[in-house]
Structure 1
Amino acid sequence: MTDLTEVRSGRSPAPGSTDALRALADGHHARTVRALGCSEVARHAVKSYAIEAPGRTVTDQDAQAAVRIAADHLSSAYLRGSLGLAVLLVHAGGDGDYVLVHTWIEGYMSDLAVFTGPVGDVSRLRPGRSGLAPCVWEAAVLAHERDAFSRHVLDGDGALEERLDVWRGDVLEGEVR
């Protein structure tokens, strides 16, 4: 167990973590986010995004494959308490390709599925390992979506359909870090 005085003094409790953090900081860069629209997939309103590492592009084929993956995942989402709103991230990463399906569920909670695969081979996307969470770029988009959901759907004014229309239109585009 780590001595609490080590943590309070600012010393790193994990050996080697300084080098690992420095390497991450040195390699950190912006990634481009593009909104791909909102559509109905498996009885869910789904906002879709492309996230692109430098030199990578999310193609129409990639986006279509991601929608098929999302449709399969969302087909049973009501069993997990889905409220019918979801966000789809198609990430052409530096080290592989990723599809994330984020669904708003009952009790102010969400459900997240992460699919991973090798660069450029959408046919090999598979569910990620247990415990896998969004990377910093994916988390930036999901943070925007959390705010949009709270602001427009939960706290918005007007009829529910009007709130949902505003939510559909509130997208993040440009560079994220």
Structure 2
Amino acid sequence: MSPADAGALLALADGYHARTVRPLGSTETAGHVVKSYAIEAPGRAVTDQDAQAALRIAAAHLSSACLRGSIGLSVLLVHAGGDGDYVLVHTWIEGYMSDLAVFTGPAGEINGLRPGRSGLAPCVWEAAVLAHERDAFSRHVLDGAGALEERLSAWRGDVLQGEVR
């Protein structure tokens, strides 16, 4: 059985490459502990100003997160992509589930990001970071031992850094 669009799949494979991921620290905003990351396409960089703008976007989104069942932990991805800029706000919510908001816009215009279209999901590089964060959340917060503050400290310290594919 062959794929419906073999040409498109092969074109994706030909252009596939590693992207750099680096932690941007954690902070508290809008009643949430927010753990932040930069994801950078070749030739692109996430600046301090980009990170601050992304935190403002996250704060606005998280200000109503309790209505979506938030339990107060969030991961912020600031992605300087090859075709534009992206901010993802991933929030752990009740029932072992998560909430995801994706904001998109032209490259270099992070202050102009708007909510992505309905159904938009993480790209392969963003998904790699979120997979790490799922494991860190499960390992340190859900399966962790000790007081909650110790578990949260371990979660905040468990970061992904380097290249992802």
- TM norm. shorter chain > 0.5: yes
Q: Which residue number corresponds to residue 90 of structure 1? A: 78
Q: Following TM superposition, by how much is the alpha carbon of 1:160 offset from its aligned partner in structure 2, in angstroms?
A: 1.1
Q: Output aligned runs, 1:2-151, within 5 Å.
A: 10-12=1-3, 14=4, 17-151=5-139
| Secondary structure class of the residue paired with 1:58 | coil
Identity %: 82
CA distance in 2, matches of 1:159, 1:121: 42
Q: Following TM superposition, by how much is the alpha carbon of 1:11 offset from its aligned partner in structure 2, in angstroms?
A: 2.6
> Aligned AA for 2:144?
G
Q: Following TM superposition, by how much is the alpha carbon of 1:117 offset from its aligned partner in structure 2, in angstroms?
A: 0.3
CA distance in 1, matches of 2:128, 2:29: 23
Instruction: Pick the aligned partner of 1:157 from 128, 141, 145.
Output: 145
CA distance in 2, matches of 1:21, 1:11: 11
> Aligned AA for 2:68?
R
- Stretches of 4+ moved more than 3 A in 1? none
Residues 38-69 of structure 1: CA distance to partner in whole angstroms, max 9, x if unpaired? 00011100000000000000001100000000
* TM-score, L = length of structure 2: 0.99
CA RMSD across the alignment: 0.5
Highest Rg: 1 or 2? 1
- Unaligned runs of 5+ residues in structure 1 are 1-9
Q: Following TM superposition, by how much is the alpha carbon of 1:35 offset from its aligned partner in structure 2, in angstroms?
A: 0.1
* TM-score, L = length of structure 1: 0.92
- Unaligned runs of 5+ residues in structure 2 are none
| Secondary structure class of the residue paired with 1:120 | coil
Count of matched residue positions in the alignment of Structure 1 and Structure 2 = 165
